Structure 1
Amino acid sequence: MTRLRPPPVSLSKEAASTWKRITADYEIEDEAGILLLTTGLEAFDRMRQCQAAIKRDGPQVLDRFGYLKAHPLLPAERGARTQMLAAFKALHLDIEPLHARPGRPAGS
């Protein structure tokens, strides 16, 4: 068994924990894979930061005229999620459980 790389120090505790699980489960050792995983988990951290601010402030905020508008971090959250999923997809990680058969699950 090869020695696993430690997570980058720039990652949050949650992302670092995910790094350890993914590198162990999928044996990611090549430079391209490490770069993709790092990019995906940095995007994960950005997504979590945006989610925390949106949770704190609410999905709508007042603009300078006193009118409600969508929280300005909503697009950043969506973009970070998209980046994260794209990186995981490029790594061919199973981010959804496989279904026994095609179509919607029974009872849906």
Structure 2
Amino acid sequence: MSEHKIPAHLEAATRKWVAGIVEDFDLETYHFKILVKAAEAHDRGEEARKILKTDGIVITDRFGTKKAHPAVAIERDARVAFMRGVRELGLDIDTADAPRAPRTRDYGSRA
């Protein structure tokens, strides 16, 4: 039995996903915390997606100008946070020889 307690505030499907990872991997405490944050980001993104499904992605402000619904940014940011958490944990790699995702910044020297 794992010493990691899966938070009850996560959605049922997300708790099941976290439980499967905890079962399949030997996680250190900090790995588990990253996993929980990724799971929370997933749930937040799904919550925003449901709002957008109801409200639409464009709203009209008090001046009559159309603009993106605030939940668009919440969904996007949650998706990025989830993907980074998965990448940080290495959950997207099947073998040690698999290529890593490209870096977003070039740390090498330029010729």
TM category (shorter chain) comes to: 0.7 to 0.9
Partner of 2:62, secondary structure, is coil
Partner of 2:70, secondary structure, is coil
Distance in 2, Cα, partners of 1:66 & 1:58:
16
The number of aligned residues is 94
Provide the alpha-carbon RMSD of the alignment.
1.9
Please point out which of 62, 67, 70 is paired with 2:68: 70
1:32-71 aligned at under 5 Å gives the runs 32-71=30-69
CA-to-aligned-CA distance 1:24-81 (integer Å, 9 cap, x gap): 23x1431011001001001111101110111110111121123321111111111111
5+ unaligned residues in a row in structure 1: which ranges? 99-108
Contact 1:6 1:20 in 2 (8 A): no
Q: 1:6: Cα distance to partner? A: 4.3
Contact 1:28 1:34 in 2 (8 A): no
Distance in 2, Cα, partners of 1:44 & 1:60:
22
Q: Once the two structures are aligned, what percentage of the paired residues are identical?
A: 30
Q: Extract structure 1 runs of 4+ deviating beyond 3 A.
A: none
Normalised by the size of structure 1, how large is the TM-score?
Answer: 0.77
User: Does the C-alpha gap of structure 1 residues 15 and 66 become closer, same or farther in structure 2, counting only changes over 3 Å?
Assistant: same
Which residue of structure 1 lines up, in the alignment, with residue 6 of structure 2?
7
Normalised by the size of structure 2, how large is the TM-score?
Answer: 0.75
User: Does the C-alpha gap of structure 1 residues 61 and 28 become closer, same or farther in structure 2, counting only changes over 3 Å?
Assistant: farther
* Residue type of the alignment partner of 1:61: I
